[in-house]
């Protein structure tokens, strides 16, 4: 869904991006950080759009990931940082 560029998906993509990074604190209680980082990196890479609204939300989502539990851990940060840098 996130890699599609159809105008009908912009609303759903925007909402998904707005809420994506907020779930990682709770998910870290259930899943290992390395699994969550894999999901986050894959998700960041799947957002492929040139729509300004989606791009703004993608950058906000990346900021949320950088401020999340994923970026506090050295091991997960070493995987997440290159993906974040590539997107920015």
Task: HSE, CB side, 13 Å, CA atoms: give it for residue 33.
Answer: 15
Look at residues 22, 26, 17, 24 and name the one whose alpha carbon lies nearest to residue 60.
17
pTM of this structure: 0.79
Query: Alpha-carbon distance 36 to 72, whole Å?
Result: 13
The full set of domain ranges for the chain reads: 7-87
User: What's the rounded mean pLDDT across residues 76-83?
Assistant: 90
Interval 63-76: pLDDT, tens: 988 888 888 888 88
Interval 1-45: pLDDT, tens: 777 777 788 888 888 888 887 787 788 889 888 898 898 888 888
The pLDDT value given to residue 82: 92
């Amino acid at each position: 869904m996130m890699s599609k560029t159809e105008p009908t998906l912009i609303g759903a993509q925007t909402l998904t991006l707005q809420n994506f990074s907020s779930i990682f604190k709770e998910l870290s209680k259930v899943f290992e950080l390395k699994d969550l980082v894999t999901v986050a990196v894959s998700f960041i890479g799947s957002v492929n759009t040139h729509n300004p609204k989606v791009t703004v939300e993608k950058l906000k989502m990346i900021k949320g990931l950088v401020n999340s539990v994923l970026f506090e851990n050295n091991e997960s940060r070493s995987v997440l940082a290159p993906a974040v840098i590539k997107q920015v």
